[in-house]
Amino acid sequence: MAERIAKPQVGAPDPELRTSPILEEFDDDYLVLKQQVPGEPVCHFNDKRYAHGTYVCSGDTLLRCDYGVWIRTGSCDPDNP
């Protein structure tokens, strides 16, 4: 079995904690949400701050912080990229 992608594992979003929106890059809501958080320098995930450009794994989903919005960019499971 291959090893997981070497990015911080943040777990699943907890609805009780602050987490920035998680979107597909071409999601219909992408542009609307980007206007609501224009140029935020960080994303939040379960009350932790991550700088713009940071990659994390939420389960098997690879996320990238894009100015206040998490973008699904792939898989953290090397067997299912």
Question: How much is the pLDDT for 55?
Answer: 97
Question: How much is the pLDDT for 63?
Answer: 97
Task: Please indicate whether residue 69 or residue 79 has the higher confidence score (pLDDT).
Answer: 69
Question: How much is the pLDDT for 40?
Answer: 79
Q: pLDDT per residue over 2-59, tens digit each?
A: 445 678 999 999 999 999 999 887 777 766 766 776 677 899 999 999 999 999 999 9
Question: Where exactly are the structural domains of the chain?
Answer: 1-81
Written in H, E and C, the secondary structure of 49-67 is EEECCCEEEECCEEEEEEC
Closest alpha carbon to 67 in 29, 24, 20, 27: 20
Question: How much is the pLDDT for 81?
Answer: 60
